[in-house]
Amino acid sequence: MNNNTYTVGSMFAGIGGICLGFKQAGFEIVWANEKDAAACRTYRHNFGDKYLLEANIKKVNKQTIPVFDILTAGFPCQPFSVAGPHKGFEDARGNLFFQIIEVAKIAQPKIIFLENVANLIDHDNGKTFITIFNALSELDYVLRYQNLPSNEYGNSPQTRNRTYVVAFKDELLGTKFKYPEPIELTTGIFDIIDRHTKQKEIYYYNEEDPFYDYMVSKVKRADSIYRVHDSGIRLAKNQTCPTLTASMGTRDNRVPIIIDDFGYRKLTVRECLDFQGFPKDYSFPIGTTIQQAYAQIGNSVCVPVIRRIAEQIRNVLEDNNDLQ
């Protein structure tokens, strides 16, 4: 591999999951933007304070944004999620996609990388994705897109399926780019979950909890994880962890449940980070509440999937340089 430096600017950076995946693939992060103060504290705690801009992107002077090779954006997914009200671009958060277009017009990145829910492609009978496709095509980008479940492409035993879009200014790069191939899932849920070590009491349910009796009636197996949804408690499929969502931080009973040697409990914050593929040295700053940590993790990405896509992007960039 060549030692060329390729730079990345990241919108809606959150706690840096996408930045981390690209960094692991050898890219240099030169600019990132996030408006949530708690997420920014976590980002700085792990990446430093060199290039993060804490601000509402709508209020940022786009002319001040530096030049970079790749623009990444995990733009807000709730407007397009099957778990939400499906408002799409009618939701103010959905309209944030057009901020990506505004930045792209000025920064003119070679590549744009987008991440969103799997439902993005089919939302509103495909009209939402057509809007995204057309907006990027009008800027002369060639799009490649695919849904990649984490348990098939990231060796993460989590049923997190997401749409990934890679848009290229250079049509030749776009035709050469290939998404990573599926890989064998060798990591099991109990490679991440420790059932035999007592966790902090805050993670355990007790008989005083309002839904304790209902939970006990549903959670029977100690060899599995249970997902909590509006429709009730369900056994997660195929010995995997259900998709971790931001609602874990806003609704206390939305964190997946297990039985360990000491009782019924939620997945810990560390376990959730591990299911998302964050490295062991990634942590939250002092003062982060458990609700903030859960929400930030649920809003983030499966890092190994991002890294594998970023490696494929780097490969086509390197191949292109070899031909020049």
Active-site residues, by number, are: 77
What does the alpha-carbon distance between residue 167 and residue 145 come to, in Å, rounded to a whole number? 8
Q: How many CA atoms, within 13 angstroms, populate the side-chain half-sphere of residue 82?
A: 11
Residues present in the chain in total: 324
Record the tokens describing residue 201, joined without a space.
């009491």
Query: Which has the closest alpha carbon to 275: 319, 239, 323, 221?
Result: 239
**Interior angle at CA 84, CA 22 and CA 166, nearest 5:** 25
Tell me if residue 144 falls in helix, strand or coil. strand
Q: What CA–CA distance (Å, rounded) separates 122 from 44?
A: 35
φ, ψ of residue 135 in degrees (nearest 5): -65, -40
Return the ∠ at Cα 71 (arms to 70 and 72), rounded to 5°: 115
Residue 53 makes CB contacts below 8 A (sequence gap 6+) with: 31, 32, 33, 34, 60
Alpha helices per DSSP H over the chain: 17-24, 37-47, 97-107, 127-137, 150-153, 171-176, 189-192, 212-218, 269-275, 290-298, 303-323
Say which residues have a Cβ less than 8 Å from residue 107's Cβ, sequence separation at least 6: 9, 65, 66, 67, 68, 71
Q: How far apart are the C-alpha atoms of 32 and 9, rounded to whole Å?
A: 6
